[in-house]
Amino acid sequence: MGSFFDGSQSGPLAGDPRLSGRGQGAAGSPPFLGLQTSSFTDFLAVHSPGLLPGRMMPGAPADPDPRVPGSGSQAVRDLPHATTIVAAICDGGVVLAGDRRATAGNMIAKRDVEKVFRSDEFSGMGYAGTGSVGIEFVRLFQVELEHYEKMEGRSLSLEGKANRLAWMVRGNLGAAMQGLVVVPLFVGYDEDAGRGRIFSYDVAGGPYEEQRFYSIGSGSLFARGALKKLYTDDMPPADAALACVQALYDAADDDSATGGPDLPRRIFPVIATITADGFRKLPESEAEDIAEQVVRERMTRPDGPQAALRNS
């Protein structure tokens, strides 16, 4: 069976993944056994397309009235939406972190949402946007990578994984145009290059490789501004995790849809590192220590640490 999108292609949609590794089964075999493809998404698109994200969207009203409860646009706005995700390349890998708040319009829908997930042994992703669709993306992408590895006997390259996720994001474009937008942030450890890498997306796909650090979500502008001052090249993973939490704190300080550390409820950012040792989600006790350090320092310096203007 042929592979697909394994990094040798020159774009997120180079070639047609639906044509890779697909052949007819033996005569008389069940129909689903005749689809020989290493893509689980392709398999699902043929046999159960309604299970794919964005494929069960009803037709949107021609002119929904946002002032009318229950109209198309109002219903979409009332769905829980998740933000903010940050990532930073560190010495020997990459750090990924996300806040825990989900909002529905001007209301806090949930305070302890998890938006950072393991994709496979050497990659992970976070998402911003419609929560229910985002969870579908995460789960489908996890199965996609596992299915490919079982069918091909090897894992995709990191670029191949990023390109495959781009194809899935583009498949949700119709739903995104109706308001069910999901934008992922994909990170991983490149075993060939021996370093961490970050890939961002737009609603039509991507991917776009980002250098040093990046953030998505409604608080991303403030988070990236904070990381510009705090980030240094070759930071140890622990320092990069601290910088990411500082950035999330600054995002929460200026963006109402982003939640900061919630000490009374013991709700802290989700933090993960991906290095040569694989994906590691920090235990809650470690995330708590980092969050408490940030909050403690902000008690005396509300605007956070200051970056030096001159190198010593």
Report, as residue numbers or ranges, the catalytic residues: 83
Contact 138, 146 (CB under 8 A): no
Strand partners, 87: 96, 214
Instruction: State how far the Cα of 170 lies from the Cα of 18, in Å rounded to an integer.
Output: 14
Cis peptide before 66 (omega within 30 of 0): no
Q: Which of 116, 124, 122 is nearest to 275 (CA)?
A: 122
Is residue 304 helix, strand or coil? coil
Instruction: State how far the Cα of 153 lies from the Cα of 151, in Å rounded to an integer.
Output: 6
Q: Which helix (H) or strand (E) holds 88?
A: strand 85-90
Tell me the DSSP string of 118-149.
Answer: EEETTEEEEEEEEHHHHHHHHHHHHHHHHHHH
For 48-84, where are the alpha helices, taking DSSP H only? 72-77
Instruction: State how far the Cα of 220 lies from the Cα of 21, in Å rounded to an integer.
Output: 39
Contact 160, 17 (CB under 8 A): no
Instruction: State how far the Cα of 128 lies from the Cα of 217, in Å rounded to an integer.
Output: 5
Radius of gyration over every alpha carbon of the chain, rounded to an integer in angstroms: 21
For the chain, where are the alpha helices, taking DSSP H only? 40-47, 72-77, 131-152, 158-171, 173-177, 220-230, 237-254, 284-300
